[in-house]
Amino acid sequence: MTLWFTAALIALTGAVRAEVLLSADEIEQALSFGPWPPSFHTDPSNRVSNNARAIALGEALFNDPVLSVDGAFSCASCHDPEQAFTTPEARALGRVLLDRNTPSLRNLAGLRWYGWGGKSDNLWAASLHPIIEEQEMAHSPESLKTAMSESAYTNDFEAIFGVIQNQGPELVLVNAAKALSAYLGTLVTDRTQFDDFRDALERRDFPAAAYYPEAAQRGLQLFLGRGNCVFCHNGPRFSNNEFHDAGVPYFLNETEVDEGRFSGLNFLLSSPYTLEGDWNDDPDRQGAWAVRNVRRSHADFGTFRTPSLRGVAETAPYMHDGSLKDLNAVVRHYSKINTERLHADGEAILSQLNLSEQEIADLVAFLMTLSKAPY
C-alpha cells in the first residue's frame, strides 16, 4: 500500500514539475508542423486516385513480382510494408547495387517533386519508372501488357481501365502506375507524441502539453533556433520538398559523382510522364507550371530533396546514400558539418553547430517523437 502510494506521489509530483519550456514564438512555430494527419488529397492528374478498386489493385500489384519482367522483384522487395516501406540496406539492391537509399513511401500525396533528385513531378510517374528501369523491374511496356493480360489481376484491371487488348502497351503501363499511385497516396504515417504536444499547445492546454518530455522540448528548441533545421525541414511533413546540399559526400567512387538534382532535372525534362505530358488526366494541368518553369543550373549539382522527418526513427540508415547509420550519426553530421565541402551555392544556412553531448541527445529525443512508439 505504502509502496503504491509513494509511486503515485512521485508520478504526480513529476507531472506537476514538468512544464512547457517553449517561448510564445517557439509555440507559434511548433504549430506550423501540423495539424496531422493531413486531409485526403485527390490527385487531379490521376483519375483513379480516389477509386477504391484502383487502390486495392495498386496494393496487390505493389506486393506482386508480376511487375518485374522475370518475377525477380516486387515493389515490396525494396519498399517492405513491414519495414516502413523501406529496407535496412544503405543502398537499394536491384539487379545491381543502386546508387541510392530506398525512401519510405509514406506521406507522398500532393508533393511537387519525387525521388532524391526530383526526377518526377507526380506520383504515378514515380511509380512507373521502377517498372521499366533496367536495373530494377526491367519490363518493357509490351512485356508488361502481356504479363498483365496473363495475370490474376486481369479482371480487376479491366473493371477499372477497360479491356487490356484495346489498350496500347504504354497506356497499360501508365494505368498500372496510376493504380500503384492511388494506393501509395493512401499511405500516411500515424499521429505521434509530437502531434499530441502540438495540438495541446494549439488548445492552450499547457498541463497536457507538459507531458511531452523536456529533452524533446529542448531538442525542438534547437531544431527551431540555433540548429536552424526548420529552414529546410518545415511544414507538417518537416520538409520544404526542395533541393539542398546537406554536406553528404556525393562521390560514388573515385571517378563518378551522384549529380543529384542535376541528373534529376535532365531526366524530368525529357520524360513523357510529367504533368505537362499527354498522360496527365487533368485538363487544367494544375501544377504543371513547375516542370514548365524549372531550369538546370550549376547549383543543382549534388543537391537532394529534403526528406520528410515524419516516421524517421523507423527508416535507418539515412541520407540519399544511406551513409549515416542512425539519428545520432545524423545529428553529429550536422554538428561537425564541413562547410568547406558544401559545393552548392547559397547553402550558407548550414554551419558547424558544435553541439554538446546533451544537445545531441536532446535533438535525437525530439526526432524520435516524430515517429510512433515503439520504434
Q: Return residues touching ligand HEC (CB under 6 A).
A: 62, 67, 73, 75, 77-79, 92, 94, 98, 100, 102-103, 105, 108, 114-117, 126-127, 130-131, 136-137, 180, 184, 223, 227-229, 231-233, 244, 246, 248, 304, 306-307, 309, 312, 315, 318-320, 327, 330-331, 334, 347, 349-350, 363, 367
Concatenated DSSP letters for 166-178? GS-HHHHHHHHHH
Nearest distance, CB of residue 6 and ligand HEC, angstroms: 39
Give the 3-state secondary structure of residue 202.
helix
* Of 276 and 347, CB closest to ligand HEC: 347
Nearest distance, CB of residue 193 and ligand HEC, angstroms: 17
* Of 164 and 330, CB closest to ligand HEC: 330
Q: Cα separation of 188 and 129, whole Å? A: 22
* Of 142 and 205, CB closest to ligand HEC: 142
Nearest distance, CB of residue 255 and ligand HEC, angstroms: 20
* Of 200 and 312, CB closest to ligand HEC: 312
Phi and psi at residue 100, to the nearest 5°:
-130, 160
Which residues are paired to 257 by β-bridges? 251
Residue 173 · residue 141 · CB < 8 Å:
yes
* Alpha carbons within 13 A on the beta-carbon side of 223: 29
* Of 90 and 210, CB closest to ligand HEC: 90
Q: Cα separation of 54 and 173, whole Å? A: 14
Residue 37 · residue 152 · CB < 8 Å:
no
Nearest distance, CB of residue 40 and ligand HEC, angstroms: 18
* Of 47 and 106, CB closest to ligand HEC: 106
Q: What cell was used for 335?
A: 554538428
Residue with cell 499530441: 196
Nearest distance, CB of residue 9 and ligand HEC, angstroms: 37
* Of 201 and 330, CB closest to ligand HEC: 330
* Of 287 and 307, CB closest to ligand HEC: 307
Nearest distance, CB of residue 15 and ligand HEC, angstroms: 28
* Of 34 and 307, CB closest to ligand HEC: 307
Nearest distance, CB of residue 12 and ligand HEC, angstroms: 34
Give the 3-state secondary structure of residue 371.
coil
Nearest distance, CB of residue 137 and ligand HEC, angstroms: 6
Nearest distance, CB of residue 351 and ligand HEC, angstroms: 10
* Of 54 and 67, CB closest to ligand HEC: 67
Nearest distance, CB of residue 252 and ligand HEC, angstroms: 12
Cβ atoms < 10 Å from Cβ of 75: 26
Angle, helices 154-161 vs 169-184, to 10°: value is: 90
Q: Cα separation of 198 and 27, whole Å? A: 8
Q: Is residue 155 exposed (0-12), middle (13-18) or buried (19+ Cβ within 10 Å)?
A: exposed
Q: Give start and end residues of each alpha helix (H) in 133-211.
A: 141-149, 154-161, 169-184, 193-202, 206-209
Output the 3-class SS for 288-341.
CHHHHHCCCCHHHECEEECCCCCCHHHCCCECCCCCECCHHHHHHHHHCCCHHH
